[in-house]
Structure 1
Amino acid sequence: MRQQRNTASPGEQEAAILKAAAEEVALVGLARASLDVIARQAGVSRSTLYRRFPSRDALITELGRRTFEFAMQRLSTVAMDSGPKDAAVAAFCEGLRLLTTEPVMRKFLQLDGNIVVEGMYEEAEAFLNLASAGMAKALRAAGATMPDKDLHAVAEIHIRLATSLAQLRTPVLDVTDDDAVRAYARKHLAPLVY
């Protein structure tokens, strides 16, 4: 079925393109995402797509930026007023939930085992570094008193462990069981934060 032509404002067209790009990336991954399909689903011509995003890289970069902002917004809603240990547990649980349920994020971080797109390692690494820095900042705001270097190391451990658990299932922890994830984080990760 042909999508009706989108005659909305440039901002609305951009939003439609990004929505279609997210759906396409979630469905087929970054490497196989088709600009023709994205344009068709957004109801715009390929030339309109290129007016809004001058290159495929520009579109993918903006999608990645918005995906990261969405994740950070979700993580910022985690209760941080009950102390650094509880904040670490809550952030780990929400982070793992995001990594196991958000399809676009999974594709960006290569958590679905697809062929890695050239340059995507750098984007995944940047995502993980920004997430670690964000978690360290949140833990500091929640009352963590440890030195900055140690706090950043602990935040990175949390992010990398969550990413690993989302990618490689283990009999040690059922990542779909919120209570089990919370107990795991409380026992193994909260003690790292002071």
Structure 2
Amino acid sequence: MRRLRNNDSRTEQEAAILKAAAEEVSLVGVGRASMDVIARQAGVSRSTLYRRFPSRDALITELGRQTFDFAMARLQTVGIESGAKEAAVAAFCEGLRLLTSEPVMRRFLRLDGDLSAMAGMYDEAEEFLQSASAGMARALRAAGATMPDADLLAVCELHIRLATSMAQVRTSVLDVRDDDAVRAYAQTHLAPLVW
């Protein structure tokens, strides 16, 4: 089915392009996402797409940033009033839920086994890890964590690395689809790291 040409404002066109890019990445992955398909689904010409996003990398980077912002907004909803340990458990549970259920995030994690895409995304992955760790550290500090900043940041990075690994590689230790098991795991093994 051919979509009608999108003659909306620049902002609305960019939103349509990002929505189409998210759908395409969800279906085929980062490495195989087609600019032609994205333009067609957004209802814009290739030239309009490239005026809005000058390269494929620029579009994918913006989609990654948008995905990260969405994840950070979701993590901000994790309650901090129950104390630092409970906030750490809640953040781990919500983070793992995001990593296993959000299709675009899952595709960004997998990168379709395309090593050239992985090399190109390394800086963004490192940036994601640093930003997510810093955001979690701020939330845990607000929840009452008293440990030194460097230790708190290291624990937050460990939580994020562990959640990312468990979302990517199945383990007999924990069924990541079982919310109660994830919570119990975090309470037993991760909460004690925060003080």
Aligned to 1:182: 183
In structure 2, distance between residues paired with 1:128 and 1:103: 19
CA deviation string 1:123-146 (max 9, x = no partner)? 122111211111111101110000
Query: 1:109 offset after TM fit, Å?
Result: 2.2
Mind listing any 5+ residue stretches in structure 2 that lack a counterpart?
none
Query: 1:113 offset after TM fit, Å?
Result: 4.9
Between structures 1 and 2, the one with greater helix share: 2
Tell whether 2:138 aligns with 1:137. yes
In structure 2, distance between residues paired with 1:50 and 1:121: 24
CA deviation string 1:67-121 (max 9, x = no partner)? 00000000000111110000000000000000001111122222x6532303112
Q: Is the 8 A contact 1:29 1:114 kept in 2?
A: no
- Residue type of the partner of 2:167? A
Aligned to 1:159: 160
Point out 4+ residue stretches in structure 1 off by more than 6 angstroms: none
- Residue type of the partner of 2:102? E
Tell whether 2:144 aligns with 1:125. no
In structure 2, distance between residues paired with 1:106 and 1:131: 16
In structure 2, distance between residues paired with 1:137 and 1:43: 41
Deviates more, 1:141-150 or 1:115-124: 115-124
In structure 2, distance between residues paired with 1:90 and 1:72: 13
Aligned to 1:48: 48
The alignment covers a number of residue pairs equal to 193
Mind listing any 5+ residue stretches in structure 1 that lack a counterpart?
none
In structure 2, distance between residues paired with 1:9 and 1:43: 13
Aligned to 2:11: 11
* TM-score in terms of structure 1 length: 0.96
Aligned to 1:114: 113
- Residue type of the partner of 1:25? V
In structure 2, distance between residues paired with 1:51 and 1:44: 11
In structure 2, distance between residues paired with 1:20 and 1:168: 28
* TM-score in terms of structure 2 length: 0.96
